[in-house]
Amino acid sequence: MFTNKKTILFITRDQITVTVVNVKKKTVESSIYQKNWDSSNLTSLMEEIKKKIDRKVVRVLVSDSLCYQLEINLEKDVTNEKDFITAEIEKRIPEHLEKEDWDYKIITKEKDKKVAVVIALVNSFWGNLNKAINFSQIKVEAIESETSARQRNEDPVIGIALKKDMMGADRETLNLTPKEMLDGDCEEKELYAKLAKRSNLISIIFGLILGLAALCSAYYFLVLNKVDLFWK
């Protein structure tokens, strides 16, 4: 879906910022949220963001410091480009990546060779981001690095808003998508939801108790004043 306005979540090593970009004007229209994040609060921040934004779909721009980005040359004798790229990733990225943890796009195609660009997120961050997206149920249509976004605009926040290459053949698009949760994670999500409901219920009960205490205090105060007036 391509509309005139896009909501962009820009995540750096320690901060998350939410802005609205006017695609037609190629300008940042407003900044609606900014907070520091770490692995302990990213999920709760995503839930806050979901409540603040007007649009149901967001795009996530990730700082280059949280990404691996490679350019890989494929000579003409390479018969299976994906297998070749997978082997290169295993050599050049110092973390174990599953097939859904990275994506690639052919950016140059000549007679004798092709060039592919590869993007993957640092494993620890990718795990935290997936968990936060799944728990908050915020809908993400694109995840991209600063470098990739700058190919469209010098301001990467505007650049990712202008992104259109999300559909099509795998080798023609460069876009990470959140992973579905495993069974164990789903159980954790259900527990998290139950705890959140319990916390809300406790807050309501506590509020009622405070309200009742205030009413009793007011009543007691009035009674004492009446007694004082009577004795006067």
Q: What is the mean pLDDT of each run of 10 residues along the chain (232 residues)?
A: 84 96 95 94 94 88 96 89 93 92 88 90 94 92 93 96 75 77 48 48 65 70 56 45
What is the rounded CA–CA span in Å between residue 95 and residue 214?
A: 58
Q: Give the per-residue pLDDT at 219.
A: 62
**Tokens describing residue 21:** 């970009």
pTM of the model: 0.75
Nearest-10 Cα torsion for 198, 204, 206, 208: -150
Q: Give the per-residue pLDDT at 174.
A: 82
